[in-house]
Structure 1
Amino acid sequence: MEMLQTIFGSAFGYILPFLFVLTVVVFFHELGHFLVARWCGVKVLAFSVGFGPELFGKTDRKGTRWKLCAIPLGGYVKFSGDENAASVPDRGALEAMSEDERKGAFLGKNVWQRAAVVAAGPIANFLLSIVIFAALFGFLGRSEIAPRVDAVQPGSAAEFAGLQPGDLILQIDGRSIDTFSDLQRIVTASADLPLEVTLDRDGEVVTVTATPQLREVKDPFGNAQRIGLLGVQSSPKPEDVVYRSYGPLEALSEGTKETWFVVERTGSYVAGMISGRESTDQLGGPIRVAQVSGQVATLGFAALLNLTAILSVSIGLLNLLPIPMLDGGHLLFYAAEAIRGRPLSERVQDFGFRIGIAIVLMLMIFATWNDVMHLTSL
């Protein structure tokens, strides 16, 4: 009995944080589509969090069915004139509509309105991330450690570059370094890349070249990740540690910067995968998200909110990929329509959607395989 309680307790410890994170991210993504669609006069048939059988729902006065479905791995907004939840157009249904019905159909809107509705989902994800980060900065503030070298590890990239204890890092590749966290963020994403480091050494400005070494490290939960390491330790001296609080505008600015950092880091990882510098085994799917959500939840609600903001950016970027079935694929079709002055042929669009489905399924299978391999290696 005690073992069963432990198993169920552990399962809920992962499932509940996962559902919280995914539901918040999906809801705001679809809310972006929904709000702009309503603003453009599109009739919304359904707003769903999750897929599959409906668990419960309610129809509002404008005819939109708001529902929660059994499979909590995404969501959708279905517009008048859509063939399915992926917003594949049903041109036959559009032709059968009356003039008034056609005015409320998604396909009845001009290309700029349709593009605005589609782009609103990823944009909502980015805005959600900014708001969450801003709230965390505004309510909690943060401790900042000066980018001063307290110790240099023997045999490290820092030792080879000539860094010394007491050095204060000023810039890396021309980018200002204000905190030790700024230093870590650049270094971890720059394995095997030479960096020009400008530092203050006893009042003299010195420039050295350091190449972070690729190393596999484990986080406090035992998850392995490969990052760049310089081999320096931060200063524990009280004069090098400052607590900062933020007003509303400052918090909003920092939230925007933090969101942009996640965008940059994600873009850098994708570029690294394409070039072969980054390993694809870091890609994760729902199983990995559930695992990480459960682990982060043990650190507190603020940490879970921070993870929600990071995943919101990731979902926004993923949906902007130019793959049919995703928002980016729809935007690609609309860009072609704007240039040509008319939509792509039904045959071309249908072929594109088939290719898109195949790509998305392959990505899901690959990410799930990575998840399984990750779990078996723990």
Structure 2
Amino acid sequence: MLPSPGILFTILMFVAMISPLVFIHEMGHYLAGRMFNTAVDSFSIGFGREIFGWTNRRGERWKVGWLPLGGYVKFTGDANAASLPQEAARVNPAEKPFLFAFKPLWQRAIIVAAGPFVNFAAAILIFATFIAIYGQSYTSPVVSNIVTESAADRAGLAPGDRILKVDGKAIERFEDIIGIVMINPGTPVSVDFERAGAVRNIVLTPDLIEEKDRFGKTFTIPRIGLIGEERGVIERGPVESLWYGTEAVFATTGMMVEGLVQIVTGRRSVKELGGPLKIAEVSGQAGTMGIEAFVNLMALVSINLGFINLLPIPMLDGGHLAIYAAEAVRRKPIPPQVQEWAFMTGFALLISFMLIVTWNDLASFGVFKHVAGLIG
């Protein structure tokens, strides 16, 4: 069992994890803006008071804030970091061609979407690099053994069965089954399999098993009890690696979408959501396990950052894109007052979300039990 990393190491790993991802996200916005000759006031990594910074020859202020939980690009003419436009009457007509708020709709959409796109691209590059260097693990989707009294055993699966689909998703390798089962804890899933040339179907419910990670922390995972054949490794060339790296990002994003739908519909508890404290914890743990584990986690967090930012919530990139979609349908801009109310609502939603995930993080660390023990 590995010792838990110290607080200082965890904080350093968290900053090392988040800062590069925030930087490339905002750099996506910045580079897309520059591509369309959009004037920029400032580029910030982190929020709050500026720790240090500099002004480049274009008059753009590049700075680092004391709270490394995000960042922003403030385009000239925006009233704030959320890119709400200033009153048009106060804008110099000569500056309008260079201001984000007055750019064509399609250019604004590209600038906003560039941030999440870069996060997904970074994850693809990381996965593709790992596949190119180490190859891709492959286990045939043929069952070699069944765990006694497991969900698969109770459902009637047997050695020699070839798994074709799980929860309606095609299975090409045994590893595909794991990802599907992980997002269906305690939820019945349909399994299509081939036995003696005939295709059959059964429905099983994964068992919830308590285990301990290498740091001694208890967690619960779903398990169906299938054992595959001996795992092998397939070497992939650069183009293949890029293809399978992209496939892995799409699959991971799909699992995030399904997990969110399950939480919204009540199939999974909101307690499963984690926040910055949980990311900090796993960042510290990954840091003790070596650079490969740390970079792999960085790819997953990058996907998560891109996915969350595309949610249609005002204040996030997806909220901007939703407003632009409405503008395209209406063929005229959304009234500024409506946009301001939307962003105020989005801000309230984000604060509520942060409170929920922070509460979950503190509960997972046992803070409330400890406080209750002190009071009792």
TM-score, normalised on structure 2? 0.90
For the aligned residue pairs, the C-alpha RMSD in angstroms reads: 2.2
Kindly provide the amino acid, as one letter, of the partner of residue 376 in structure 1: G
Match of 2:340 among 340, 350, 371: 350
> Partner residue of 1:374?
364
User: Aligned residue for 2:173?
Assistant: 179
C-alpha distance in 1 between matches for 2:216 and 2:86: 49
Aligned partners of 1:348 and 1:214: how far apart in 2? 48
What SS is found at the alignment partner of 2:268?
coil
Note closer, same or farther for the CA distance 1:319–1:149 as it changes in structure 2 (3 Å cut). Answer: same
CA distance, structure 2, for counterparts of residue 150 and residue 299 of structure 1: 31
1:276, CA displacement in angstroms? 1.1
Superposition misfits of 4+ residues, deviation over 3 angstroms: 170-176, 203-206, 216-219, 221-228
CA distance in 2, matches of 1:83, 1:214: 52
Q: Which range is displaced more, 161-170 or 133-142?
A: 161-170
Separation of aligned partners in 1, 2:203 and 2:235 = 33
Of the structure 1 ranges 288-297 and 219-228, higher mean CA displacement relative to structure 2 is found in 219-228
Query: Is residue 158 of structure 2 the alignment partner of residue 164 of structure 1?
Result: yes
Match of 1:307 in 2: 297
Label 1:33 to 1:244 Cα distance change in 2 as closer, same or farther (>3 A): same
Q: Distance in 2 between matches of 1:306 and 1:185?
A: 16
Note closer, same or farther for the CA distance 1:143–1:329 as it changes in structure 2 (3 Å cut).
Answer: closer
SS of structure 1 residue aligned to 2:65: strand
- Any conservation in 1 of the 2:9–2:284 contact (CA below 8 Å)? yes
Report the counterpart of residue 233 of structure 1 in structure 2.
227
For the residues of structure 2 that align with 1:223 and 1:264, how far apart are their CA atoms? 28
Deviation, 1:259, is 0.2
2:203 corresponding residue in structure 1: 210
Q: CA deviation at 1:226?
A: 4.7
- Percent of pairs identical after alignment? 39
Match of 2:256 among 266, 271, 282: 266
The verdict on how the C-alpha distance between 1:297 and 1:205 changes in structure 2, with shifts beyond 3 A counting, is farther
Quote how far apart the aligned CAs of 1:146 are: 2.6
Q: Does 1:195 align with 2:185?
A: no
* Structure 1 residue 206: Cα displacement: 4.5
- Quote the residue 1:98 is aligned against: 92
Which residue of structure 2 aligns with residue 3 of structure 1? none
The structure 1 residue matched to 2:325, chosen from 329, 335, 360, is 335
Between the aligned partners of 1:57 and 1:216, the Cα distance in structure 2 is 50
Distance of aligned partners of 1:287 and 1:196 in 2 relative to their CA distance in 1, 3 Å threshold: same
Q: Contact 2:77–2:86 (CA<8 Å) still a contact in 1?
A: yes
Could you state the TM-score of these two structures normalised by the residue count of structure 1?
0.90
Residue identity matched to 1:87: S
Counterparts in 2 of 1:161 and 1:246: CA distance versus 1, 3 Å: same
* Residue aligning to 1:121: 115
Q: 1:219 to 1:168 in 2, by over 3 A?
A: farther
Gaps of 5+ in 2: 370-376
Partner letter of residue 52 of structure 1?
Answer: G
Which residue type is aligned with residue 140 of structure 2? A
Deviation for aligned residue 1:227: 4.3
Q: Does structure 2 retain, via aligned residues, the 8 Å contact 1:214–1:226?
A: no
